[in-house]
Amino acid sequence: MLLVHPVFSQEAHAAQVTLAWNANTETDLQGYKVYQGTASRIYPTSWNVGNSTSCMISGLEVGRNYYFSVTALDSAGNESGYSNEVTYTIPASGPEPTPAPSPSSSQSPAPSQELVISQTPYTSWNLGVKSTGMLYAQSFKAIGPKIESVAVALARYRSQNMPIRVSIRIAAGGPILASAQILPSQVTSTNWHNPNWIDVTFSSPVTVTPGSTYYLVLDVSTYNYGHYYRVSLGQNTYPDGIAYQSAVTPRSDVDLLSKIKFSY
């Protein structure tokens, strides 16, 4: 079982907080999971942040107490115990505004923007059953120069036991620009109508060309007819995208439920 002993740093900007922790040194580290709640050691919200040792949490309520902790995940799906807990209260008034830097300055923080492909379930595909395909892809047009993370919607059928590789590619079945894993333990929903939204952060931002087409790909390396995932699909809410089943059969009437975060 992995163990992690982070030292958090906190930095508040309006209604958000940045958490950072010491890296875990185990050789089979897969990533970290950050937990959040409004009571000590009760965490109804969590995120998988990949191998990153920091994350920014936004959408917090001013004046409210929040509690945070982190765990480590290994390649076999084992999760460590909680780290030490930190608490933070979002101040009623944010810090004094910082003057805008001159055009020549390179110190300003990079803004980000989220491309929502689809977020309302319409139907689903089975991922991890050989007869229905082991690779699904969603094409999209880049809206920024770097991809930070993606969020995908999944459900499970019985007790799936294979990790899912999430990758950004230049073709549906082509070269991989970046990839990360979703572990079986992260998918807890059994209803594709109400799937898990799982955040996947790449170890480093993926450099892309705005306006060019890329592919978000979900694939598994094994299959089992009784234990697999359900990939939720929306009804063509992203007009520039096409969903691919096993990178062979394109469908223009549906989109993989996904959100892609770009940085600038």
Structural tokens at position 140: 């999209």
Q: What single letter denotes the amino acid at residue 121? A: P
Domains, the chain, in order of start with CATH, read: 9-89 (2.60.40.10), 112-263 (2.60.120.820)
The C-alpha atoms of residue 5 and residue 37 are separated, in whole angstroms, by 19
Global pTM reads 0.59
Print pLDDT tens along the chain (264 aa). Answer: 334 334 444 444 446 777 888 888 888 888 888 888 888 888 888 887 777 787 777 777 777 888 888 888 887 778 888 888 888 887 765 444 444 444 444 444 557 788 999 989 999 988 887 655 568 999 999 988 999 999 999 998 887 778 889 999 998 878 899 999 999 899 999 999 999 999 999 988 899 998 899 999 998 876 677 788 899 999 988 988 999 987 668 899 999 999 999 987
Q: Looking only at Cα atoms, what is the longest distance across the chain?
A: 60
Q: 71: which 2 tokens?
A: 């765990």
**Residue 171 corresponds to which tokens in the numbers above?**
């073709």
**Pair 196, 45: CB distance under 8 Å:** no
For residues 216 and 208, the answer to whether their CB atoms sit within 8 Å is no
